[in-house]
Every structure is written in structure tokens, then in C-alpha cells.
Amino acid sequence: MAEFNLIQNYFNFEQDLSKSVVKAIGDDCAILDIPKGRQLVTSTDTLISGVHFFDNIDPADLAYKALAVNVSDLLAMGAKPLAFTLAISLPGINASWLEAFSQSLQQAAQNFSINLIGGDTTQGSLSITITVYGTLKKGKAVLRNGAQLGDDIWVTSTLGSARSALKLHNKDSLSDEQKLLWQKLIRPQIPFKFAKRLNKFATAAIDLSDGLLADLGHIMVQSQLGARLMVETLPLEEALIEQEGIGQARQYALAGGDDYQLCFTAHKKYRKKILYHAEKTQTQVTRIGKIIEQGYQVLLNGEPLAITENSWQHFQANL
Amino acid sequence: MAEFNLIQNYFNFEQDLSKSVVKAIGDDCAILDIPKGRQLVTSTDTLISGVHFFDNIDPADLAYKALAVNVSDLLAMGAKPLAFTLAISLPGINASWLEAFSQSLQQAAQNFSINLIGGDTTQGSLSITITVYGTLKKGKAVLRNGAQLGDDIWVTSTLGSARSALKLHNKDSLSDEQKLLWQKLIRPQIPFKFAKRLNKFATAAIDLSDGLLADLGHIMVQSQLGARLMVETLPLEEALIEQEGIGQARQYALAGGDDYQLCFTAHKKYRKKILYHAEKTQTQVTRIGKIIEQGYQVLLNGEPLAITENSWQHFQANL
């Protein structure tokens, strides 16, 4: 199969193109119009077989996750997704694998209201680099450096389940609880609708890819402030507690990675407003602590808690 | 070495930031302002060790080429480079390799007036995916579909040298001619200044990555027209003729890849104007044929020439 058939067959799928997409697949470059009064927001992330996912991953899950973790970065800025490019490296051409990957990518793109506008296919070990493009109202980005002393710290959905699921090797004999945790790892439900409202109240935000302590740490460093976490408030799946016990579940919620939920800070006057927007977008949000002057205070019912779990240590880094 | 030191040490280098770069490295996303009346132009390309470059490539050469081949896509649209992201996968951390890579990338970025605004570092086999962002005046993109019947066909610089250099395995004992060919392969001199003037005269353009016949073929298909090439006019390095003989040199110019020069079409009334802009930007341009109704006519002194060289067949494709 020649290279152009590969594209025609699998990556030139039907999509409702945004009117901002002037030129998609088919030329040296894609062209985007950025509406007046808005800015371009962009990020790129790579997923590599054996590092970020298991070699035998279902191609449909892979396509979903590769797009979701990139859109997650747009959400953490309060941006609206617009477009993405896909650079995929494949060991060879496997029609049924590509078919499943392509269909899932098309579905995920539709769900996230984002258009595939170009990319590159190469032969090599399996890896995927997606670059996402979004827009936001000029000057309205929610950055990492905006947290204020006394702000509440919030997270969306639940934490720690993906870290627990990393240990599930034999997928054929999973309990119902384990299946739920597994879904959290392979199909992270990013807070797509809620994030668009983030700039109405958030002073800072980050998406949780490396674990709460590590990622909230970036907000602390860039805002030159500290954080107090009330560990008893951390949102945990019942299935995670069943599987790990409450102590280990909390450790995973603090230090596990791959959650792809949002952590954000906001003035306490917005508590009602945040709950209102969460309800309107059917999003679970939980207040888990507050911004203090310096350092980390990780407290369980008022007493310091030792962190026994290492932060998700991979070699990956967002520049 | 932790991930953030990797970024701080090697990829957060000093650069003269464009005023359109609102936020570069350091948050979930980068932010760009697109000036009024301009559009965003973007493209992504992957280079993989063993497919697009030799395993033992000099890291400085690799950094230069990875950026140049991506900027080349912007040039082929007539766009002005603005920014790029770098997703790099490395087998491990080698300080002297990273130092050389980073210095060369910084230098190349400065030469091409383009800012590094973000990216991703991961552990894996060596590969580089760069996404470039440029701008152009709204509606002024030079696309592949604009060629007109009777247009001249032009190329910049010389062709075929990179294909010949691919055969040079023992770099320690190169003749002067071979050294020149080698430079054409590893340090392609993209027509940076000339390309900015492309939309003053060109009806269609493409950058030559897969070889003249293959790439001009995209213009023909998208413009629904054909092309006549006068093979005796193809611009060839003296060193290439010395190394390969004139017959093989022409075959490489027609079908070899990796030249990263521009092929463009223009009305014959612009011949003087094109030569003027070429001189002003110190760029070699050559008229090599014309657009006809359909099909390829590859003529040497008026007689059909058989193509003995296969097109640059790799698995890579631009979506």
C-alpha cells in the first residue's frame, strides 16, 4: 500500500470542519483563521509504546487516549479546542489495526469538537505525537502562575485510579472494580465542558498527568506560594478503595499519574459559582486544600501524612 | 538528571522572542498572537533514526536538518516562520550530545527567525517531531492547486546531490566533491529569503522532499494539469556530475529525494521579476519546464527520457 493510500484510507475521514479551518489535509501546510480578539493556544505530546502504553494496547483505546491527553492541555489553559495534527510512526501497515485506530480517532475528534488538519506517517517503532491547536479570548488564559494566597485548591473527577490500573496485567480476569479502574487509565474522561468555563473563576490551572503533588508543585513554583492539602477530602473511586484500601488509595491520589483531570485554584468567593458550573456541566469537583505562603503541608485530619508513594517518575517532560 | 533540568539545561535557551509569542515554554500550552489580517500556517514532520538519518549522525547536523525540513514546508506556502515545538525521544541522556544538539538548534532557530515555544521529551528510540507555526497575509497562501496551463515550472538551487550523498558511507575518506554532496544532504540550504516573495508571482509551490517527479506530481494532480520537463535544463552541481556522470546525475535530479528546495509555477510574464527577486535574495532559480494539459513529458533535448531511478520510496507521507 502506497503512502497516499494510507492517508486516503485511514486519515482523511469525514469531519464537520470548523469555519476557522481554511485548509486541512493535502498541502504543504494547514491554514487556520484565528478569530478576531482571540489567541492561538498550542501544545504537543508524544506517546511511546512501552513507555506511555502497553505494546498490546487496543488501537481504539490508543487513539482516544493520544487525543485526550493533548486536548487536556488545552483545557488546562481554559482554551477551546480547534484542530490537531497527528505524527504517527508504525512498524508496518496492519489494516484492521489502522481501521480501529482511525474510527476511534474520528469519534474522539468529534466528541472534542476538534479537526484533524494534517500530520505525518513514518515507519518505525509505534509512537504518536499529536499537536493541538485551540483558541481563547485574548489575555484570558488560565496560567500556572496566577494562584493567590488563600485561594482554594480544586480538582475535577477522582484521582489515583489510573495508577492502580497500571498494575493490572492480566486483562482477561478483571473484577468489576478492576474494570472500572482500567477504564480510568485507558479512557480518561477529561472535563471537556467544565474547562471552557475555567476562566470565569480560576486563578491558575494545570492538568494532572504526573500526579497531584508533582503537578500542583508547578503552580506553587510559578506562583511562588505553597499549598495545604486535606487528604481526607481527596475524591476517590469506591472501586479504588475496594482494590487498594483507603491508605494506599490516598497515596495513589497524591502521587500517581495519568489522571488527566484538572487541578485549579480560585478565590473562596467563587465556591458557589464553581459548584454551579460543575452541576451545569455534570462534572464532579472537589475542594481539597488551600494556597498558603510556602511549602507543602499534606495533612490527614489535621496531622502530617508521610508520602510513601513515589511520584510517577518517567523521563517525559512538557517543555 | 530530572526532566526539568533537561529542559532548563538544553531547551530553554536564549532567543529573541517575537512579540507574537505571548507565552513560550513553561505552561500547559504556548500562546501565540496572530497579527490582524494574517492567518496561521502549520505543519508537522517526524525524523526517525535509521529511516530519515543514519544512527551515528552528528547531533548538530540532526538539529539543523530537523528544523530546516519543517521550515521548508512553511516556505512552500509563502509563509513567514514564527514558532516551533519540539517533541524529542531519546534513548538516554548524553550531555555532550544534547549540548551539541541544543546549540545547533538555537543557531538554526535564529537563522530562520523562529522561536522554540514548547514540546515534549520522552525516553525511546531516537526520533524528532517538529511542528512549525508561520503566518501569511490572509488568502495569500501559495497552494498546490493553483498551477495554470502554460505556466513555467521553476526550481531553486540544484537537485539530486542529496540522493547521491546517501551512498557515502565512509565519511572519513571523502573527496572534495563528495564533501559538497554530503553537505547538501545533511545541511540543506532552504531558500529562506526567496520564499517570502513567492506570493508575488507563484501560482503553485511545493517543497522537494520526495523527489521532483513525485512532488511536482502533487501539483499536477491538485491542479488537474500535466507537466513537460526539459531535462537538459535541470540545475546540477558540478560535483554531482563529476561523481555520478551526467546521465545518473539527471536521474537523481528527477527522482532523488531530500533536496528541500522549492518547485513552483508562474506565468511567463513574471520571468524577469522572478530573476530579479532571485538576485536580490542571492538565490539560484532555474526554469525547467512548463505546465501542459495532462501527463508527464520528460524530454532530453526534445526526446523522451526513460526514468531508470526509482522515486524516493519511503513509508513517510505528509497528510
Q: What is the ipTM of this complex?
A: 0.89
Report chain A's mean pLDDT, rounded to a whole number: 92
Q: What's the pLDDT tens digit per position in B211-231?
A: 999 999 999 999 999 999 999
* Lookup: cell for B38: 494574517
Interface probe with B: pick from A53, A69, A129, most Cβ of B within 10 Å: A129
With respect to residue A238, please indicate whether it lies within any of the assigned structural domains: yes
Of the pLDDT bands very low, low, confident and very high (cuts 50, 70, 90), residue B318 is very low
Q: What residues does B133 pair with on adjacent strands?
A: B42, B83
With respect to residue A318, please indicate whether it lies within any of the assigned structural domains: no
Could you give phi then psi for residue B78, rounded to 5 degrees? Answer: 80, 25
Question: Are residues A116 and A158 both part of a single domain?
Answer: no
Residues of A in contact with B40 (CB under 8 A): 31-34, 40, 133
| Closest residue on chain B to A122 (Cα) | B316
Question: Are residues A124 and A185 both part of a single domain?
Answer: no
Query: Domain with B192 in it: what CATH number?
Result: 3.90.650.10
Query: How many independent structural domains does chain B possess?
Result: 2
> Per the CB < 8 Å rule, is A77 touching B143?
no
Question: Are residues A127 and A161 both part of a single domain?
Answer: no
With respect to residue B47, please indicate whether it lies within any of the assigned structural domains: yes
CA distances to A29, A41, A79, A84, B39 from A32, rounded to whole Å, are: 10, 12, 16, 11, 6
Task: Over range B143-156, report the average pLDDT.
Answer: 98
> Per the CB < 8 Å rule, is B85 touching A44?
yes
Of the pLDDT bands very low, low, confident and very high (cuts 50, 70, 90), residue B292 is very high
Of B95, B113, B137, the position where a domain reaches its end is: B137
Task: Over range A100-107, report the average pLDDT.
Answer: 96
Distance to chain A for B255, nearest Cα, Å? 16
Question: Are residues A235 and A264 both part of a single domain?
Answer: yes
In chain A, DSSP assigns E strands to 21-23, 30-32, 38-48, 80-90, 115-123, 127-137, 152-156, 202-207, 226-230, 262-266, 285-292, 296-300, 303-304, 317-318
Question: Are residues A85 and A158 both part of a single domain?
Answer: no
With respect to residue A124, please indicate whether it lies within any of the assigned structural domains: yes
User: What is the structure's pLDDT at B47?
Assistant: 92
Of B113, B137, B161, the position where a domain reaches its end is: B137
User: Smallest Cβ distance to B120: which of A74, A141, A316?
Assistant: A316
Question: Are residues B261 and B298 both part of a single domain?
Answer: yes
Query: Looking at the predicted structure, is the pLDDT value of residue A288 above 50?
Result: yes
With respect to residue A215, please indicate whether it lies within any of the assigned structural domains: yes
Question: Are residues B170 and B88 both part of a single domain?
Answer: no
Task: Over range A4-24, report the average pLDDT.
Answer: 86
| Closest residue on chain A to B122 (Cα) | A316
User: What is the structure's pLDDT at B1?
Assistant: 41
Q: What's the pLDDT tens digit per position in A152-194?
A: 999 999 999 999 998 887 677 899 999 999 999 999 999 999 9
Task: Over range B171-184, report the average pLDDT.
Answer: 90
Of the pLDDT bands very low, low, confident and very high (cuts 50, 70, 90), residue B311 is low
Query: Looking at the predicted structure, is the pLDDT value of residue A234 above 80?
Result: yes
> Per the CB < 8 Å rule, is B207 touching A28?
yes
Of the pLDDT bands very low, low, confident and very high (cuts 50, 70, 90), residue A127 is very high
User: Smallest Cβ distance to A43: which of B29, B50, B317?
Assistant: B29
Question: Are residues A132 and A18 both part of a single domain?
Answer: yes
Question: Are residues B84 and B195 both part of a single domain?
Answer: no
With respect to residue A315, please indicate whether it lies within any of the assigned structural domains: no
Residue A257 or B203, more confident: B203
User: What is the structure's pLDDT at A2?
Assistant: 53
With respect to residue B278, please indicate whether it lies within any of the assigned structural domains: yes
> Per the CB < 8 Å rule, is B44 touching A118?
yes
Question: Are residues B157 and B292 both part of a single domain?
Answer: yes
Q: Which residues constitute the domain of residue B286? A: 152-304
Q: How far apart are CA A255 and CA A260, in angstroms?
A: 13
Question: Are residues B164 and B279 both part of a single domain?
Answer: yes
Of the pLDDT bands very low, low, confident and very high (cuts 50, 70, 90), residue B2 is low
With respect to residue B146, please indicate whether it lies within any of the assigned structural domains: no
Q: What's the pLDDT tens digit per position in B23-39?
A: 998 889 999 999 999 99
Of the pLDDT bands very low, low, confident and very high (cuts 50, 70, 90), residue B92 is confident
> Per the CB < 8 Å rule, is B316 touching A123?
yes
Of A92, A110, A137, the position where a domain reaches its end is: A137
Query: Domain with B57 in it: what CATH number?
Result: 3.30.1330.10
For the entire predicted model, the pTM comes to 0.91
Question: Are residues A14 and A125 both part of a single domain?
Answer: yes
Name every residue whose Cβ is closer than 8 Å to that of residue B172 and which is 6 or more positions away in sequence.
Answer: none
User: What is the structure's pLDDT at B8?
Assistant: 74
